[in-house]
Structures are given as C-alpha cells and as structure tokens.
Amino acid sequence: MGHGKLKKFAENETFRCLLQPDASSVLAKPEGSRELVLRDHAIKGNWNRDMFEKPQPIVLELGCGKGDYTIALARRHPEMNFIGVDIKGARLWKGAKEATEEKMGNVAFLRTRIEFIDAFFGPGEVSEIWLTFSDPQLRGSENARLTSPLFLQRYRRFLKPDGIVHLKTDSRFLYEYTQSVIRANNLEVLASGTDIYHDGIRTGVTLENRRFATPPIKDGPLPLMRPRVATGFQESPLPEKDEWDIDSIFEVQTFYETMFLKMGLPITYLAFRLEHEGEGFAYPTDFDAAYWREAEGPRRSFSHQPTKQ
C-alpha cells in the first residue's frame, strides 16, 4: 500500500463527519449458528442527533466515490442533511476532508458495503436516495444491481413513505433494467430521460401532467429555464418549490459524468417512488438482458472495465 493511501487512512480517523464501523459492529454469529447475520449499528435512527448540526431531512448517495456529488448537493440545500456511502476509504477521504475544512454541518460519510446499508438507518429516517453511476453488473448477479428487487426491499425499510429513488447513469442497460423493475412492481415514475443533456427530462406520470425540464445551454453559465409542459399541452411552469431540485440533475455532475459527456456518452435519469406495502418486490420478466448487454457493447466508462467479448 502506498504512503499516500496510508496518510489518507490516518487522516480519515480525525474526521468527525466520517463513520467507519468495523464489520464486527454490524455482523454477528448467533449461538449455535454457522451463519453471520446483520445486526443494527448504534447510529441507526440517530443520524440527525449524532452526526449533524441540526435535524433535517436526510438524503443518501450510495456509491458516492470521492463525495463530489454529495458535497455539491449539500451546498445547494443547507436545509437538508446528506450522507455519502462508499466502501473505499481513500475515495471518501476527499469528500470528508472538504466537508471538514468548509465546516459543512449538513454532510456526513459512511464507509461500509452497500449490502449492509439497512443496518445503519431506521424506518423513515431517509427521504431520498441517489444512485450515481452505479456498476450495472452487465454479467454479474442481478441481485448485485442497486435497483434490483433485493436492494429496493432494503431501501424500503428506511425510506420514508413516498421517499424518492434517483438513478443517474451512463448505462442504458441499467436504466432499462430499472424500468423493467418499475413496471413489474407498478411503481410511480416521477421523471425519466434517456439522454438528458440533449433531450431533457420528462416529469409527471400521466398524459395530462407530462412536463419537461430543459437541458442546460452548452455555452455560457445561463440559468436553466423552469420545466414546462410539452408542446401541444397547456403551458404551465412547475412551481419554484418542486418536490426536488430538478435543476441539480443537470447542474451537479460527478467527476466521471463530466468525462462521459466528453466521450459523447448519453446520460440517463430516473426518479421513482417505492411502494411501502408488501413484503418484497417482484423480479422483472420482460427485461431482455442479452439485447441490452449487446446494445451497450464494451464498457467505455472510467468506473468499469470494458466487458470481455
């Protein structure tokens, strides 16, 4: 291990905003059992009390990397608390250091495996989840995809009723898979777009309520226009205080997102709500993994290795 990583790991221990629990704090082996089971961490249900300056709605970014998206959202929304989650301590160092130096009281980071996520958050503790450029698991297990029914069930345990899940990705495979999961479970779609920087984002779920957010103007720092009804419908701007900051979908970008855009990769976006009734989510039967895997071709992104043919 390089001296740079060792230095970051040592500095991570000094950041109050960074929680780095040992696996033993969330895994236990019941007496007489050979299997490890997940148990609740002490922070569960207590994030607003123990980690933030004041109690506010909590937003998670899962797989946050260096935390640039988490930090940017927190700057835009001081009225909300943000938590970036990742397993890589060397990555989290950057976001934790920035939040510490800027004395951002509405930012925290959690170093853990996302598979353990519901050991850290209590029922209704989280208002929104962001999945930014997650590994699409082109040839991996379906259950490893962060929008699989298995993960949605985990999220449901701690999302408040009507909580929102955001998916922003360069992977059309993951986008279409998630759409199939949504259809299989009749979930409410709030917004969608398959190439948001060229075509914008459609919001609303009925024909009468379809609205569009315009992508940012490429040249110059002009502000975005407010989303408006599509041509042919009565024009009606979205309220200034919408359910989420739709402008941030365009204006806040991860490091990798800027690289993907330079490479000409279209960026997709989905926002949907989870149904809170029931014991589990159904798996999709209409997703053609082979087709979308072939359509996506070799991965050209920086976050994943090219798929071997």
Catalytic residue annotation: 135
Integer angstrom CA distances of residue 30 from 34, 38, 43, 59, 272: 8, 10, 21, 33, 37
In degrees and rounded to multiples of 5, residue 107 shows phi and psi of -130, 135
Q: Which two tokens stand for residue 53?
A: 């300056």
Letter string b/e over residues 19-38, b meaning 16 or more CB atoms within 10 A of that residue's CB: bebeeebbeeeeeeeeeeee
In degrees and rounded to multiples of 5, residue 257 shows phi and psi of -60, -45
As to burial, measured by CB atoms within 10 angstroms (0-12 exposed, 13-18 middle, 19+ buried), residue 278 is exposed
d(CA 214, CA 212): 6
Q: Which two tokens stand for residue 125?
A: 């503790």
Q: Give yes or no for a contact between 216 and 251, defined as CB atoms under 8 angstroms apart.
A: yes
SS3 89: helix
- Give me the sign of the Cα torsion angle 130, 133, 136, 141: negative
223 contact partners, CB below 8 Å, separation of at least 6: 247
d(CA 57, CA 74): 12
Q: Give yes or no for a contact between 185 and 275, defined as CB atoms under 8 angstroms apart.
A: yes
